[in-house]
Structure 1
Amino acid sequence: MELGGALSIFLGICVSCLLLISTWKRMYKEGKLPPGPTPLPFIGNLLQIKTSEPFKSFLALQQKYGPVFTVYLGPRRVVVLCGHEAVKEALVDQAEEFSGRGEMASIDRNFNGFGVALANGERWKQLRRFSLTTLRNFGMGKRSIEERIQEEAQYLLEEFRKTKGLPFDPTFFLSRTVSNVISSVVFGSRFEYDDKVFLSLLRMINESFIEMSTPWAQEKGNPSSEFNLKNLVLTTLNLFFAGTETVSSTLRYGFLFLMKHPEVEEKVHQEIDHIIGLNRIPASEDRMNMPYTDAVIHEIQRLTDIVPMGVPHTVMRDTQFRGYHLPKGTNVFPLLGSVLGDPKYFSNPQKFNPGHFLDEKGRFKKNDAFVPFSSGKRVCLGEAMARMELFLYFTTILQSFSLKSLVAAKDIDLSPKLSGFGNIPPTYEVCLVPR
Structure 2
Amino acid sequence: MDIGATTLILLVTCVSCLLLFLNGKGQKNRGHLPPGPRPLPLLGNLLQLDTKDMVKSLLTLSERYGPIFTIHLGPRPCVVLCGYQAVKEALVDQAEEFSARGDVPVVFRFTQGNGIVFSNGEKWKVLRRFALQTLSNFGTGKRSLEERIQEESRCLVQELAQTQAAPFDPTFLISRAVANVICSIVFGDRFDYEDRNFLTLVGLINQIFHLLSSPWGQMYNLFPGPMFYLPGPHNRIFENLEQLRLFVSEQVKMHQESFDPNCPRDFIDCFLLRMEQENQDPLSYFHMETLVMTTHNLFFAATETTSTTLRYGFLILMKYPEVQAKVQAEINWVIGRHRSPCVEDRAHMPYTDAVIHEVQRFSDVLPMGAPHAVTRETQFRDFLLPKGTNVIPLLFSVHYDPTQFKDPTTFDPAHFLDERGGFRKNDAFMAFSAGKRVCLGEVLARMELFLFFTAVLQRFTLTPLTHPEEIDLSPLMNSVGTVPHPYEFRAIPR
2:384 match: secondary structure: strand
Is it true that 1:204 corresponds to 2:247 in the alignment?
yes
Counterparts of 1:124-143 in structure 2 under 5 Å? 124-143=124-143
Matched residue SS, 2:436: helix
Deviates more, 1:169-178 or 1:230-239: 230-239
Task: Please give the secondary structure, in 1, of the residue aligned with 2:328.
Answer: helix
Does residue 1:352 correspond to 2:395, yes or no?
no
Q: Percent identity, aligned pairs only?
A: 58
Matched, 1:326 2:406: no
1:92 aligns with 2:92: yes
* CA distance, structure 2, for counterparts of residue 271 and residue 145 of structure 1: 24
Match of 1:292 among 348, 351, 364: 351
* Alignment TM-score, normalising by the size of structure 1: 0.92
Q: Give the letter for the 1:36 counterpart.
A: G
> Which residue identity does 1:133 align to in structure 2?
Q
TM-score (norm 2): 0.81
Q: Aligned equivalents of 2:290 and 2:471: distance in 1?
A: 43
| TM-fit CA distance, 1:39 | 1.5
* Corresponding residue of 1:301: 360
Could you list the per-position Cα deviations for residues 377-433 of structure 1 after superposition, in whole angstroms to 9, with x for gaps in the alignment? 000010011001000000000000001110000100111122220001210001000
Cα distance, 1:155 vs structure 2: 0.7
SS state of the match for residue 475, structure 2? coil
Deviation for aligned residue 1:232: 1.5
Q: Does 1:280 align with 2:339?
A: yes
In the alignment, is residue 387 of structure 1 matched against residue 430 of structure 2?
A: no
CA distance in 2, matches of 1:402, 1:168: 14
- What displacement does 1:252 show? 0.5
Which residue of the partner structure matches residue 154 of structure 2? 154
Q: Structure 1: which amino acid aligns with 2:175?
A: S
CA distance, structure 1, for counterparts of residue 165 and residue 374 of structure 2: 52
Give the counterpart of 1:214 among 245, 269, 272: 272
Matched, 1:169 2:169: yes
Correspondence 1:189 to 2:193: no
One-letter identity of the residue aligned with 2:145 = I
> 1:200 & 1:263 partners in 2: Cα distance?
37
Query: Is 1:121 matched with 2:121?
Result: yes
Shift of 1:220: 3.5
The CA deviation at 1:200 is 4.3
Give the stretch that moved more between structures: 39-48 or 400-409.
Answer: 39-48
**Distance across 1 between alignment mates of 2:489 and 2:249:** 36
- Alignment root-mean-square deviation, CA: 1.5
The letter of the residue matching 1:214 is: L
Supply the distance in 2 between the matched residues of 1:26 and 1:193 (Cα, whole angstroms).
Answer: 51
Give the SS at the match of 1:70.
strand
The unaligned stretches of length 5 or more in structure 1 are 1-15, 20-24
Offset at residue 196 of structure 1 (A): 2.2
CA shift at 1:308, angstroms? 0.4
Q: Kindly tell me: are residues 41 and 119 of structure 1, through their superposed partners in 2, closer, same or farther at Cα, counting changes over 3 Å?
A: same
- Counterpart selection for 1:243 from 282, 296, 302: 302
Q: Partner of 1:66 in structure 2?
A: 66
Partner of 2:467: 408
Q: Which residue of 2 aligns with 1:52?
A: 52
Q: Secondary structure at the match of 2:279?
A: helix
1:28-84 CA distance string (max 9 Å, x none)? x63321111111211111111111111111100100010000111111110000111
Question: Which residue in 1 is equivalent to 2:218?
Answer: none
Equivalent position of 1:424 in the other structure:
483
Secondary structure of the equivalent of 2:426? Answer: coil
CA apart distance, 1:228: 1.5
CA distance in 1, matches of 2:295, 2:27: 40
Task: State the 1:197 CA deviation.
Answer: 3.5
Aligned-pair distance for 1:339?
0.6
Deviates more, 1:229-238 or 1:110-119: 229-238
CA distance in 1, matches of 2:407, 2:307: 26
Q: 1:306-349: per-residue Cα shift (whole Å, max 9, x none)?
A: 10011000101100001100000100000111111111011110
Q: 1:377 to 1:417 in 2, by over 3 A?
A: same
Q: Secondary structure at the match of 2:278?
A: helix
Cα separation, partners in 2 of 1:30 and 1:198, compared to 1, 3 Å: closer
Unaligned runs of 5+ in 2: 1-16, 21-25, 202-243, 256-267
Q: Which residue type is aligned with residue 194 of structure 1?
A: E
Larger Rg: 1
Letter in 2 for 1:113: G
Which deviates further from its counterpart, 328-337 or 211-220? 211-220
Whether 1:228 and 2:287 are equivalent positions in the alignment is yes
SS at match of 1:362: coil
Q: Alpha-carbon deviations, 1:294-316, whole Å to 9, x = none? A: 11111101011010011000101
Q: Structure 2: how far apart are the matches of 1:310 and 1:95?
A: 15
Aligned to 1:22: none
What is the correspondence of 1:5-84 to structure 2 with a 5 Å cutoff?
30-84=30-84
Matched residue type, 1:208:
Q
Q: Is 1:310 paired with 2:369?
A: yes
The structural deviation recorded for 1:218 is 4.0
Question: Which whole-Å deviations, capped at 9, do the CAs of 1:144-168 have from their partners, x for residues lacking one?
Answer: 0001100110011111110000000
Q: Secondary structure at the match of 2:490?
A: strand
Whole-angstrom distance in 1 between the partners of 2:125 and 2:334:
42
Q: How many pairs are equivalent?
A: 412
